[in-house]
Chains A and B, each alone.
Chain A
Amino acid sequence: MSNSSTSKKSVLWDWLTTVDHKKIGIMYFFGGLFFFTIAGLEAMLMRIQLMFPEMSFLHEQTYNEVLTMHGTTMLFLAAMPLFFAFMNFVVPLQIGARDVAFPFINSLGFWLFLFGGLLLNLSWFTGGAPDAGWTAYAPLSTTSAGHGLDYYIMGLQVSGAGTLMSGINFLVTIVNMRAPGMSMMRMPLFTWTTFVTSMLILFAFPALTVGLLLLMMDRIFGGAFFDVAMGGNVVIYQHLFWIFGHPEVYILILPAFGIFSEVISTFAKKRLFGYSAMVFATMIIGFLGFMVWAHHMFTVGMGPIANAIFAVATMAIAVPTGIKIFNWLLTLWGGRIRFTVANLFALAFIPSFVMGGVTGVQLAMSAADYQFHDTYFVVAHFHYVIIGGSVFGIFSATFYWWPKMFGYRLSESLGRWFFWLFLIGFHLTFFVQHFLGLIGMPRRVASYLDGQGLNEMNFISSMGAFMMAFAFILLVINVFVSRKNTDDVQDPWDGRTLEWATTSPVQEYNFAQTPLVRELDAFWHEKQFGDGRMKAAEPLDDIHMPNGSILPIIITTGLTVASFGVIYSTWSIIILGLLINFGAMFVRSIKEDHGYHIPVSEIKREQGEGK
C-alpha cells in the first residue's frame, strides 16, 4: 500500500483509522472471508449430520443453532461484505474518483458490520446461538429460550446500520463523484449494479430494522406485537421480514451480475452486448424486487387473489433476467474468449444460475408451491442462485481484481483446480436436493429415517459439500503460494474500464490527475483510439485528502456495548455504551477536520516511480 503520508503511523493504527476506500475494501474482503469460513464450517457440520440417517453427530438443538447461524452469517456477514469489498475498492476507481463521498462514514460502515457480526457470533460462547432460522419468524423467535435470539436481533441491527450507511455512501458517490465525461450511460456495469443494489439497500433495510425492533420490543420489553393472546399478529413480522428479505436476495445477486458483465466483456474482448438493455434490466429487476415479497408466504393463507398477483409478479422477473442471460451469451458470441479462472466462473454461472432461475419460476406457481414449500427443493433452488450466482460472482471477482487489490496475480493452474472441484462439488451437493425435496424431505430438520429412499442422495450431497470445502482450501493455499507473481499486475487482463488505468497497487489518491472519459469502456477507448493512457481532465496539482480517524471504531464500540446491554436488559451497560457512542459522535460533529494536501512534488516523484 502507499505509505507516503502515513509513514509516521504504525501499520495497525493506520488500518484502524483509515478512511481510504481501498483499505476499507480490503478489510471488508478479509472480514467477509472470515465469516464465509465460519459459515462454511457450519454447513459442513450440517452435511456431516445428514450424511447418514438418524445420525447423532449434532444434538437437535445444536443443529437448529448451526442452521440458523449458517444462513444468517452467509447472507449478512459473508456474501454482502464480500461484495462491499469489491464495490469499495473498484467503484471509485471505475468512475475516476479520488475516494467515496463520505470516507468517514465508509469506515464507520465497515466497523459496524464487523462488530455486529462479532456480537452475533459471541452468542456461541454465552449459552447458545439463535435457533429460529435466518428468518427468525415469530412466535418461534419471540418464545425462543435463552439469549440467542437477542444476539441475533442486536447483532443484525448493528451490522444493518453499517450496511445502510454504505448504501447511501455508494449512491452519493456514484451520483456526485464521477469524473468529467463519465455520464451515467458510460458507467461500467459493475458501477451500475452497485448503484441499483445501493437503492435496494436504502429502501429494504429499514423494513428489517423495524422487524427486528418489534422483535426486540416483544422479547426484551414485553411488547405484544406477536403475542396472539394480547391481540398481536405474527404475519406482520413475516411481511416486514420479506419486504426486506426479497430485495435482500437481489442485493446479493445484482453485484454479481455486474461482475460477470465486466468479466465476460473483458475476456471475450468485446464491448458488452446490449449495454443499455443491461442497465434497464438491472433497474427493472431492482424495482420488481420490491413487488414480490409475499411469494415467500404463499402457504400462510393470504388467499388466492394475493397469491396469484404475487405469483405473476414473480414470474415477470424472469423477463429482465432472461434479457441479461442472452446479452451475456451474445457478448461471448464471436468474441476471442480467454478461459481464465475469472471467466470460467462467469461461464459456469450462466447454466448454473439458469437452473436456479427455472426452479424459481416453478416455486413462483403458488399452487405448486404448496407441494414444494419447506422442502429441500427450496434449499436446492436458493443455493443454485446464491452459490451459482453470488458466490461464483465473488470468486470470479476475486481472481479478476486480485492483482489490482493486492499487487500479485493468483495462480491460474491452481485456480483451475479450485474452479473444477468447486463446480462439481456444488452440483453434487445441490442437484440431488431437488429430488430429495420432491420426494418429501423437509428442510430445517436435524435428521431423517432409514428406509425412506433418502440415504443415497443425502450421502452424495455430503460428498459434494466436502469437495467444495476442499476446493476452498485450495483457494486459501493459492493466496499464499502466488505471492511471487508480481509481474504484469497493472493491467493483466487487457482491461476495458478505468480501474486498470491506475498503478498496481493503487496510489492513495487513485489518479494523479482526474481522467477525462470519452467513451463507454473508457480505458479501452484510449487503447484503441488514443495513446493507451487516460487524458487528464485537470492540471497536476496538490491533492486534497481526508484525515484518518479513530472515531468510527469508538462510535461502533459504544453501540456494540449498548447492544450488549440491551441483550441482558442491563441499563448501566446500555447507558455506558450510548455515552461512548454519542460522545464520539459529538466529538466528530464539533471538530472541524479539513484533511491535508499531498504536494505536487510528491505526486510527481511517485508517478515517476510508477513507470
Chain B
Amino acid sequence: MADQHAAANQPLPANPEKATLEGRNKYLGFWFFLGGETVLFGSLFGAYLGLRGSTEGAPGPDELFHLDLVFIMTMILLTSSLTSVFAVINLKRGHFKKLLVWMWATVALGAAFLSFEIYEFYEYYHQGLGFTVSAFASSFYTLVGTHGAHVAFGVAWITTLLIRYRKSGITLSNAPKFYTAVLYWHFIDVVWVFIFTVVYLLGVGG
C-alpha cells in the first residue's frame, strides 16, 4: 500500500522491475524457471528428432508442411516480441498508457498466432495426421502443441495483468509482473524459432 502511494508522488526509479527485493527475486526466479523450461523443450525436441522419420505410412512432414503459412506465423510471433520490447521500454520510461497499448498489441498478435496454429492442426488432422496414427504424429503434436499451450497461457496471463492493472499506473509491485511476463513471451518466441528450424525447415528440406 505504501508503495502505491509513494509511486503516485515520486518518480519511478530507472529499472522499476528490479527496484525492490520482491522484484529482484521475481526477476531472478523467472530466469531460473526459463532455464528449466529450456530442458523441458530440449527433451521434447529430442523425442521429436528421434521419431520424426517414423511416419509409418501416414502423412509425413514434406507432404503436410506449407512454409508460407508457417512463415506468416513466424512473422506474427516475432513481431509480438518486438511489441513487447516497446512495452518494456515504456515501462522503464514510466509511460503507462503506451505500455498498455503495446502489451495489448502483443496479446492480439499472440491470439492471431494461436488461431493460425489451430487452423494448421485442423488442416493436418483432415489430411490424415491424427495424434495416434504414427510416432511422428504424436511427437509433432506434443512438441508444437506444448509450445502452443505456452502461447495460450501467455495470452491469458498478460490479459489478466492488463485488466487487473488497467488503471493503477506503473508501481514497484506491478513492474516486475509485466517484466517477467515479457521475459516469458520472448522465451516462447525463441522456442518457436527452433521449432521453425528443426520441425518445419528440416521437415521440408532435410
List chain A positions with a Cβ less than 8 A from chain B.
101-102, 164, 168-169, 171-172, 175-177, 202-207, 209-211, 213-214, 217-218, 221-225, 227, 230-233, 236, 239-240, 243, 586, 589-590, 592, 594
Contacts and interface: CB of A to CB of B under 8 A. Distances in A.
Given A171-B29, A222-B132, 12 more contacts: A101-B29, A171-B28, A176-B28, A206-B39, A206-B43, A224-B137, A224-B138, A225-B47, A230-B133, A240-B47, A589-B160, A589-B161
B160 A230 contact: no
A233 B53 CA distance: 11
Contacts of A214: 47, 142
Q: Which residue of A177, A202, A231, A592 has the most chain B CB atoms within 10 A of its CB atom?
A: A231
Given A168-B36, A236-B51, A240-B47, A223 B160 contact: no
B47 A224 contact: no
B33 interface: yes
B51 to A, nearest CB: 6
Contacts of B35: 202-203
A307 to B, nearest CB: 19
A203 B39 contact: yes
A230 B131 CA distance: 12
B198 to A, nearest CB: 16
A205 B36 CA distance: 8
Interface in B100-126: none
Contacts of A231: 51, 53-56, 134-136
7 contacts: A203-B39, A209-B43, A230-B56, A232-B51, A233-B135, A586-B160, A594-B1
A550 B135 CA distance: 43
Nearest to A233: B50
B64 interface: no
A164 B33 CA distance: 9
A214 B131 CA distance: 12
Nearest to B43: A210
Contacts of B63: none
B33, B137, B138, most chain A CB atoms within 10 A = B138
A231 B56 CA distance: 6
B32 A202 contact: yes
Count class of interface residues, chain B = 35 or more
Contact of A224 (B32, B50, B132): B132
Interface centre among A172, A203, A205 (most CB of B within 10 A): A172
Nearest to A175: B28
A3 to B, nearest CB: 26
B40 A206 contact: yes
Given A225-B139, A236-B51, A169 B29 contact: yes
Interface string B156-192: 0100110010000000010000000000000000000
B95 interface: no
Contact of A172 (B1, B25, B36, B40): B25
A202 B157 CA distance: 23
Nearest to A213: B142
B37 interface: yes
Nearest to B54: A231
Contact of B164 (A169, A213, A233, A589): A589
Contacts of A217: 131, 138, 142
B51 A102 contact: no
Interface in B24-66: 24-25, 28-29, 32-33, 35-37, 39-40, 43-44, 46-47, 50-51, 53-56
A227 B37 contact: no
B43 A172 contact: no
A167 to B, nearest CB: 8
Contact of B173 (A210, A230, A592): A592
A206 B47 CA distance: 13
A171 to B, nearest CB: 5
- Of B2, B56, B161, most buried by chain A (CB within 10 Å of CB) is B56
A223 B133 CA distance: 8
Contact of B36 (A202, A222, A227): A202
A382 B75 CA distance: 52
B25 A102 contact: yes
A582 to B, nearest CB: 8
B36 A203 contact: yes
Contacts of B135: 224-225, 227, 230-233
Nearest to B24: A176
A101 B137 CA distance: 42
In the A-B complex, the 5 residue pairs with the smallest Cβ-Cβ separation, listed nearest first, are A231-B54, A210-B43, A206-B40, A231-B135, A223-B138
B63 to A, nearest CB: 16
Contacts of B37: 206
A236 B142 CA distance: 15
Contacts of B25: 101-102, 172, 176-177
Contacts of A175: 28
A110 to B, nearest CB: 17
Nearest to B161: A589
Contact of A207 (B39, B131, B133): B39
A230 to B, nearest CB: 5
B131 A221 contact: yes
Contacts of B1: 594
Contacts of A172: 25, 28-29, 32
